[in-house]
C-alpha cells in the first residue's frame, strides 16, 4: 500500500478526520477530508462527530480546535509549525492594553496563541472582522495583532480600532506580495480580477478588485463571470482554486510561501495517525477562558 492508502485505512479504522488549511501542500490538501480557512475549520471542528481530529495547519488552529472540543483528541503532524504573527502578541500585551483602555472591547484575530485568546472579549477571522467589530456595543476596540487587517476593518466601521501590539503583521502577505509584484502580474494578465487577502499591505488592498478571506476568494471566483484571477495570498491557495475550478485560471505569487504551513507532509500525517502521537494539549484554565471569546465569534458569525 502507498502512503495515501495507508492514511485512508487509518482514518476509517480509527474514526479520524483530517482538517487542512488552504495553505497546506498539495499532497496534504488531496488527502484531507475538509479544507478551509480558519473560520470554516473552527465550525467543522465543532460539528464533526469523529473522535479524533488530525489538524494540518499551524499551532493556533489546532489549539482552537481543541478549545472548541476539549473532549476530543486533536493530533498535530508537526508540533513546530507556528504562525510567526501569533507570536507577536503575548497575553501580557493584551492585559496591558486593557489597563490602558479600560473602556475598549478586545477583538483578537484568530492568529493568536491560546493564552492571548483567553484575554479577549471576542475572536475574529479575516472573513468576519467587520461583522464582529460592528456587532459590539463599545466604540473603542483594541484590535490585533495584524495591522493590515486592522486597516481594512477600520475602512468598514465607525468604531475606533486601537492597535495591540503596535505593529503585528504576516511576513508572507505584508512583505512577499508588494505593489510592484501586483503591477507586474497584472501587466502579464490584464483581464484577470485581482483578489487579495486583508493581511496584505494597504497599498496592495487598494489595487485589488476585492479584499477577501481565502474562502471568500473561493466563493467569489465560483460566482464571478471572470475567467482569470490574480490571487494575493499564500501561493498554495491557487492549487485549491485551480482544482475546484479547472475551467478558470488562477495566477499566484511564487515567493508568497508560508514556511510553517509547509512543515506538514504525508509522512508526518501518517506517523501521528499510526502512533496517535503529537496530541495538542493546553492547560484547562486556558481552555475554559479562551472558549468564551471563540464561541462568541461563532455565534456572532452564523
State the residues that interact with ligand SF4 by CB under 6 A: 23, 58, 83-85, 111, 170-172, 234, 258, 260-261
Which pairs with CB-CB distance under 8 Å and at least 24 residues apart come from 173-177? 173/148, 173/197, 173/199, 173/200, 173/201, 173/232, 173/233, 173/234, 173/256, 174/148, 174/199, 174/200, 174/201, 176/253, 176/255, 176/256, 176/257, 177/201, 177/204, 177/232, 177/233, 177/253, 177/256
Q: Rounded to the nearest whole angstrom, what is the least distance from the CB of residue 232 to ligand SF4 in the complex? A: 12
Q: Rounded to the nearest whole angstrom, what is the least distance from the CB of residue 78 to ligand SF4 in the complex? A: 13
Cβ nearer to ligand SF4, comparing 23 with 55: 23
- The answer to whether the beta carbons of residues 206 and 178 sit under 8 Å apart is no
Cβ nearer to ligand SF4, comparing 121 with 260: 260
Cβ nearer to ligand SF4, comparing 136 with 217: 217
Cβ nearer to ligand SF4, comparing 22 with 154: 22
Cβ nearer to ligand SF4, comparing 44 with 149: 149
Q: Rounded to the nearest whole angstrom, what is the least distance from the CB of residue 266 to ligand SF4 in the complex? A: 20
Q: Rounded to the nearest whole angstrom, what is the least distance from the CB of residue 100 to ligand SF4 in the complex? A: 26
Cβ nearer to ligand SF4, comparing 6 with 262: 262
Q: Rounded to the nearest whole angstrom, what is the least distance from the CB of residue 256 to ligand SF4 in the complex? A: 8
DSSP state of 96: H
Using only the alpha carbons of the chain, give its radius of gyration. Answer: 19
∠ CA 79-81-86, rounded to 5° = 115
Cβ nearer to ligand SF4, comparing 16 with 230: 230
Q: Rounded to the nearest whole angstrom, what is the least distance from the CB of residue 93 to ligand SF4 in the complex? A: 17
Q: Rounded to the nearest whole angstrom, what is the least distance from the CB of residue 89 to ligand SF4 in the complex? A: 12
Cell, residue 194: 485581482
Spatial separation of the C-alpha atoms in residues 66 and 69, rounded to whole Å: 5
Q: Between the CA atoms of 73, 88, 256 and 220, what dihedral angle is there, to the nearest 10 degrees?
A: 70
Spatial separation of the C-alpha atoms in residues 34 and 41, rounded to whole Å: 8
Cβ nearer to ligand SF4, comparing 52 with 205: 205
Cell, residue 88: 507577536
Could you tell me which residues come within 8 angstroms of residue 36 by beta carbon, excluding any fewer than 6 positions away?
19, 21, 22, 44, 215
Please compute, for residue 233, the number of CA atoms within 13 A of its CA located in the half-sphere on the CB side.
30
Q: Rounded to the nearest whole angstrom, what is the least distance from the CB of residue 174 to ligand SF4 in the complex? A: 8
∠ CA 102-290-46, rounded to 5° = 140
Amino acid at each position: 500500500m502507498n502512503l495515501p492508502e495507508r492514511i485512508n485505512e487509518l482514518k476509517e479504522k480509527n474514526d479520524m478526520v483530517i482538517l487542512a488549511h488552504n495553505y497546506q501542500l498539495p499532497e496534504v490538501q488531496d488527502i484531507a477530508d475538509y479544507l478551509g480557512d480558519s473560520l470554516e475549520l473552527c465550525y467543522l471542528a465543532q460539528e464533526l462527530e469523529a473522535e479524533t481530529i488530525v489538524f494540518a495547519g499551524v499551532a493556533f488552529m489546532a489549539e482552537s480546535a481543541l478549545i472548541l472540543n476539549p473532549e476530543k483528541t486533536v493530533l498535530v503532524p508537526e508540533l513546530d509549525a507556528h504562525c510567526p504573527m501569533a507570536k507577536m502578541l503575548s497575553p501580557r500585551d493584551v492585559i496591558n492594553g486593557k489597563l490602558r483602555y479600560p473602556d475598549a472591547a478586545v477583538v483578537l484575530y484568530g492568529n493568536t496563541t491560546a493564552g492571548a485568546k483567553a484575554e479577549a472579549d471576542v475572536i475574529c477571522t479575516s472573513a468576519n472582522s467587520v461583522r464582529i467589530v460592528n456587532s459590539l456595543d463599545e466604540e473603542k476596540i483594541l484590535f490585533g495583532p495584524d495591522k493590515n487587517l486592522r486597516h481594512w476593518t477600520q475602512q468598514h466601521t465607525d468604531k475606533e480600532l486601537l492597535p495591540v501590539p503596535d505593529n503585528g503583521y504576516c511576513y508572507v502577505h505584508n512583505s512577499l506580495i508588494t505593489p510592484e509584484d501586483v503591477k507586474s502580474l497584472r501587466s502579464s494578465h490584464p483581464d484577470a480580477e485581482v483578489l487579495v487577502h486583508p493581511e496584505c499591505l494597504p497599498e496592495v488592498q487598494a489595487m485589488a478588485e476585492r479584499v477577501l478571506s481565502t474562502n471568500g476568494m473561493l466563493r467569489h471566483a465560483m460566482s464571478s463571470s471572470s475567467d482569470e484571477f490574480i490571487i494575493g495570498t499564500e501561493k498554495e491557495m491557487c492549487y485549491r482554486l485551480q482544482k475546484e475550478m479547472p475551467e478558470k485560471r488562477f495566477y499566484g505569487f511564487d515567493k508568497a510561501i508560508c514556511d510553517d504551513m509547509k512543515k506538514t507532509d504525508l509522512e508526518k500525517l501518517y506517523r501521528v495517525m499510526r502512533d496517535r502521537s503529537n496530541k495538542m494539549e493546553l492547560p484547562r484554565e486556558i481552555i475554559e477562558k479562551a472558549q468564551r471569546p471563540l464561541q462568541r465569534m461563532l455565534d456572532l458569525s452564523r
